[in-house]
Structure 1
Amino acid sequence: MEKRKKERAAVSYKPKQQSLWMEFRKNYFFYLLAIPGIVVLLMFNYIPMAGIYVAFENYTYQGGLFGSEFVGLKNFEFFFKNINNALRATRNTIVINLGSILLGKALQVTVAILLGDVKRNSFRKASQTIILFPYFLSWIVIGALSETILSDKSGMLNQLIVLFGGEAVKWSTQAKYWQPIIIIATIWKGFGYGSILYFATLTGFDQEIYEAAEIDGAGRFKRATRITLPLLKPTIVTLLLLDVGGILKGSLDQIMGMTRLNPLLFETTDTITTFVYRTTTQNGQFGTASAISLYQSVFGCILVLTANLIARKIDPDYALF
């Protein structure tokens, strides 16, 4: 009888939870270290969310955020009434970003695996420096480089085409070429940084697995496909989910730097970001621009939630939350 009472008491016992104050006293140093980051997060990520209200008013400098006329969903009408331009901008944004993400991820993983197979440390470091260099170039500089290469009259590419008996291409008026050009430029600029991220993940893998596979006669290709890729899959999926959230966002600097917002190229280069820029600068419609930006954010959030749900169905470990 006494034994049963002790067992019941042991089962019903719950450890006493620490109060919030006790938790703070115990780890106060780490909480203090977190304060600057929290302040920056609040100032630049959460407080600016009040600007969402601009999407529902006829914003003016005189009226300010809360003194301008409230117009409800009228600002969204401009975007959806221009349905042809809206669909074109949405399509171009998705095509450019999706192509850059998928092809870029494939190249980044491939380069990371190749770097992992390099035995000489000096050569590996030199390679990392070279492939990382484009990441630090601004889109204005890259735009100047693209103009040097793709100039209609004196461009290097046209000179090569003519040298081999072809006819020079008027790149400044041929919209059909510019989506691939922008995708290639995006991949070239970012693949070095992404490759180093994946390579850093590779260095954390247990090397005994590779040694055992090498003893069993597995070549580089088999080691890459049977060991490295499965181990990298969670990292790839996580970064892919994060990229999906920005699939409707674009780099205004990139489009301006490379195309100079040439109207002849809008058929394939006019993205939602450039559409917002033109709406703001040409018409002064800040409310409409905010409404379009809100549309981007909401659509991106829906994409992340959907992609995360799919990832969770495949494997719960792949999901962000």
Structure 2
Amino acid sequence: MQSKPLINNVSKNIQKSHKKNKMTEWKYFKKNKELFILSLPGVIYTFIFAYLPLLFLVVAFKRFRFDLGILGSPWVGLDNFKFFFTSQAAAIITRNTVLYNLTFIVLTTVISVTLAILLNEMTSKWLKIHQTLLFLPYFLSWVVVGYITQAFLDSKSGLINQLFETYGFSPVNWYQEAKYWPFIIILVHLWKHIGFATLVYYGGLMGIDSTYYEAAKIDGASKWQMIKKITIPLLMPLIIILFIVDMGKIFRAEFGLFYFVPNDVSFLYSSTDVIDTYVYRSLRVVGDLGMATAVGLYQSIIGLILVVSTNYIIRKINKDHALW
């Protein structure tokens, strides 16, 4: 009998606490309503393009017909997934996608961290010029980058072949030789993305307390010792966070890079074809929306597993460096 009043008191306290939290949240919203209003375009954009399409994932398990619609189309189970995994090109495009992304992650991290440290050592006079030169390619669309690449590699009027002929070398038909394209793809990707990654890490360097370097100077530490013992360890949390995020995109290739830069030339598919370009061509030729949705779902699930697994491993090694 005595337990009933105790339970009632606990229940009342929980309700009061809940109401108090609601009031606190409302006061917080009213206090920062301008910031919430400013964030509305981003929230609406994310909802429309990231969350609303989740309702249509059911298409991955149906043989979609436009005349029947999503609800009326017949169920086919996992047949749409089988179409991708049983195709002859599945192994090649999966290998290309994973290996290219792993190479991008490693090289972009190493080069951009190095450039960020070099920028940090420069005087302010030259810093803005170097920042502009590095960051400018990031704003170019892949269509423009494709035309720039063609200007260098065109078999007749390309700049590289003209240089070859000038110095007595035979010109190369770049768009028919697949063996050169892994290096071309990597170079083009680095040229376009290194600037942005460098500025991200440079921003991280700006957040390091200068007193660490002053104390190291007093102790007689060299530049290399300060980089090794101060800069890189303090920059490591940012490097790991970006690494975890990139691991989630390892099964998603940058469509523009692999479609517009090689000009979708069939001779180069063994080196330039990835999951995204393969699905695009299949959708364009076959028109199978269910298969395209199935592959997109497959990429998202693998990406989620990789992010969670990578974060779990990093958490085991160093809890402070994990994303959550």
Residue in structure 2 matching 1:76, options 62, 78, 81: 81
Q: Deviations over 1:52-73 (max 9, x none)?
A: 1111111122222222121111
Deviation at 1:157, TM superposition (A): 1.4
Q: Deviations over 1:106-140 (max 9, x none)?
A: 11101111111112x23111211111000001111
Aligned residues: 306
Counterpart for residue 27 of structure 1: 28
**Is 1:212 the counterpart of 2:212 in the alignment?**
no
Specify the SS of the correspondent of 2:174. coil
**Is 1:114 the counterpart of 2:118 in the alignment?**
yes
- Give the distance between the partners of 1:155 and 1:40, measured in 2 at CA: 41
Which stretch shows the higher mean deviation, 92-101 or 275-284?
Answer: 92-101
Specify the SS of the correspondent of 2:172. coil
- Give the distance between the partners of 1:46 and 1:32, measured in 2 at CA: 24
Q: Any gaps of 5 or more consecutive residues in structure 2?
A: 1-13
Alignment of 1:96-175 (within 5 A): 96-119=100-123, 121-175=124-178
Deviation at 1:161, TM superposition (A): 2.7
Specify the SS of the correspondent of 1:172. helix
- Give the distance between the partners of 2:118 and 2:17, measured in 1 at CA: 50
Q: With the length of structure 1 as denominator, give the TM-score of the two structures.
A: 0.90
Alignment of 1:134-283 (within 5 A): 134-283=137-286
Deviation at 1:41, TM superposition (A): 3.1
- Give the distance between the partners of 1:34 and 1:71, measured in 2 at CA: 44
- Give the distance between the partners of 1:32 and 1:224, measured in 2 at CA: 41
- Give the distance between the partners of 2:255 and 2:94, measured in 1 at CA: 14
- Give the distance between the partners of 2:284 and 2:176, measured in 1 at CA: 24
Q: Deviations over 1:233-277 (max 9, x none)?
A: 000000011011001111222222111111110001110000110
Q: Is the 8 A contact 1:100 1:184 kept in 2?
A: no
Q: 1:95 to 1:23 in 2, by over 3 A?
A: same
Q: Deviations over 1:158-204 (max 9, x none)?
A: 22233333322221111111111111111110111111111111111
Counterpart for residue 7 of structure 1: none
- Give the distance between the partners of 1:39 and 1:172, measured in 2 at CA: 42
Alignment of 1:29-44 (within 5 A): 29=30, 30=32, 33-34=35-36, 36=40, 37-44=42-49
Amino acid at match of 1:142: V
Q: Deviations over 1:264-298 (max 9, x none)?
A: 10001110000110111000011011111111111
Counterpart for residue 52 of structure 2: 47
- Give the distance between the partners of 1:112 and 1:274, measured in 2 at CA: 33
Deviation at 1:317, TM superposition (A): 1.4
Amino acid at match of 1:61: F
Amino acid at match of 1:65: I
- Give the distance between the partners of 1:211 and 1:160, measured in 2 at CA: 50
Which stretch shows the higher mean deviation, 61-70 or 30-39?
Answer: 30-39
- Give the distance between the partners of 1:73 and 1:210, measured in 2 at CA: 58
Q: 1:38 to 1:23 in 2, by over 3 A?
A: farther
Deviation at 1:32, TM superposition (A): 7.2
- Give the distance between the partners of 2:44 and 2:320, measured in 1 at CA: 31
- Give the distance between the partners of 1:168 and 1:219, measured in 2 at CA: 48
Which stretch shows the higher mean deviation, 223-232 or 210-219?
Answer: 210-219
Alignment of 1:56-95 (within 5 A): 56-82=61-87, 84-95=88-99
Q: Any gaps of 5 or more consecutive residues in structure 1?
A: 1-13
Q: With the length of structure 2 as denominator, give the TM-score of the two structures.
A: 0.89
Specify the SS of the correspondent of 1:166. coil
Q: Sequence identity, in percent? A: 39
- Give the distance between the partners of 2:304 and 2:209, measured in 1 at CA: 36
Note the aligned Cα RMSD (angstroms).
1.9
